[in-house]
Amino acid sequence: MKRSLFDADHEAFRESVRAFVATEIVPNFDTWVAAGIVPRKLFLAAGKSGFLGMDAPEEYGGGGVPDFRFNRVIIEELMVAGVASAGLGIILHNDVCMPCFRDYTTAEQQSRWFPGLVSGELITAVAMTEPGTGSDLASVTTTARRDGDYYNGINSDLVITAVKTDPRRKHKGISLLVLERGMEGLERGRKLDKLGEPAQDTAELSFSDVRAPEANLLGEKGQGFAQLVSSLPQERLSIAVAATAAARAALDWTLEYVKERKAFRQPTGSFQNSRFVLAEIATEVDLAQHYTDACIRALNAGDLTAVDASKAKYWCSKQQGRVVDRCLQLHGGYGYINEYPIARAFVDARITRIYGGTTEIMKEVIGRSLGLGSGGLNPILGVKCGQAFQAARRAGRARQNAGRKSAKWVDSPAR
């Protein structure tokens, strides 16, 4: 079935992204995997090429168009090149953090932060998970109190941090503070040794009497929970898109392998089992791709619901694990060797059923939409989340200048 999501602008953008990945990431990927981190210069290079902040206001160097199709192009090119973990920071920056800055910043904050966010000089992160909270965001215990024009948070360039500004209230006591690199009391702990995504640095952050100016409050006081929840549909769609692209890449690598690999004097792809397995995978990947394409159209129109985004994340992340496992099996023993991208894809796939909301949480959201009760979880995570997201996206769009038709980018040096 012919794919109709992209137009000529997106395909031209894809050529630039593909060249960027081939020249800037692929030659360095093994080094970054060994180091467990990518260098800051990668973000600077991405910013110079126009791959950061495509939806940021044009006056600060952004593309000015909230069109998630450009985000999907970046994700797909990272996955097909087999360098997913090196690009996760860029995906997080664009898909999770930038919407918060776009939708909730004041004019003063935009002039202070957006130039660096678009250029790659400022790298973003979100701090919203504590050792004892996980999916229960409302139970965070990190607190901030007013002290003159400063907040003392116990909670890296810019870290969107969920803090309790009113510990007496649960959801409505949470606010978002942007903590900046260099603030006294903001410390980075150990870099965590993860099962997968080795080039993506995940670290512990500790906060001890950090003094954050009131001017770093993101949005309204007490609205942090609603603000974070309103961004969940896009975040979950981003994970679903990445999962689908990773499954597509695994299918392509496996097709190439089974056509060349021989057993019993014939290509392993010619065996009936191989054909049946790959036929099933090809069908599932196509279905997931078309569903997530439809979700992107809804997102761009401001109509993506929390339920539809949860369906996308639940199904596509589960499918990714199943597809990569079956593709690894068709590689035989070679699939267990890390120099083959399928091996890395196998361990990288596990996290997508956990972060951004576990599979179980996704099923809860979907189940409640069927009139089956709340299960004791806060209902805002369901339908209300979709409504909040749509309202925030409309408000963000209202701040953009009218008449912008396409995002901007510059050619990668390889072109």
Residue linked to tokens 């942090």: 224
Angle at 405 between CA 69 and CA 12, to 5 degrees: 50
Name the catalytic one among 235, 280, 284, 339.
Answer: 235
Q: Give me the residue label for tokens 């990431």.
A: 25
> Residue 47 carries which side chain, given as an amino acid letter?
G
H or E segment to which residue 150 belongs: strand 150-153
CB 210 within 8 A of CB 152: yes
Question: CB-based contacts of 157: which residues, under 8 Å, 6+ apart?
Answer: 116, 121, 122, 123, 124, 180, 181
Q: What DSSP character marks residue 401? A: P
Task: Tell me the C-alpha distance between 410 and 48, whole Å.
Answer: 7
Q: Measuring CA to CA, which residue among 320, 317, 343, 319 is closest to residue 330? A: 343
Chain-centre distance for alpha carbon 389: 16
d(CA 377, CA 134): 14
Judge whether 129 and 78 are in contact, CB under 8 Å: no
Tokens of 265: 């004097």
CA-CA distance, 322 to 122, in Å (whole number)?
37
- Pairing type for strands 262-263 and 186-191 reads unpaired
Catalytic (active site) residue 235: yes
* Residue 217 three-state SS: strand
Phi (first) and psi of residue 125, to 5 degrees? -155, 165
C-alpha 178/C-alpha 162 separation (Å) is: 9
Is residue 286 classed exposed, middle or buried when 0-12, 13-18 and 19+ CB atoms within 10 A define those classes? middle
DSSP assignment of 332-391: GGGGGSTTSHHHHHHHHGGGGGTTTS-HHHHHHHHHHTTT---TTS-GGGTHHHHHHHHH
CB 205 within 8 A of CB 188: yes
Report the catalytic residues: 235
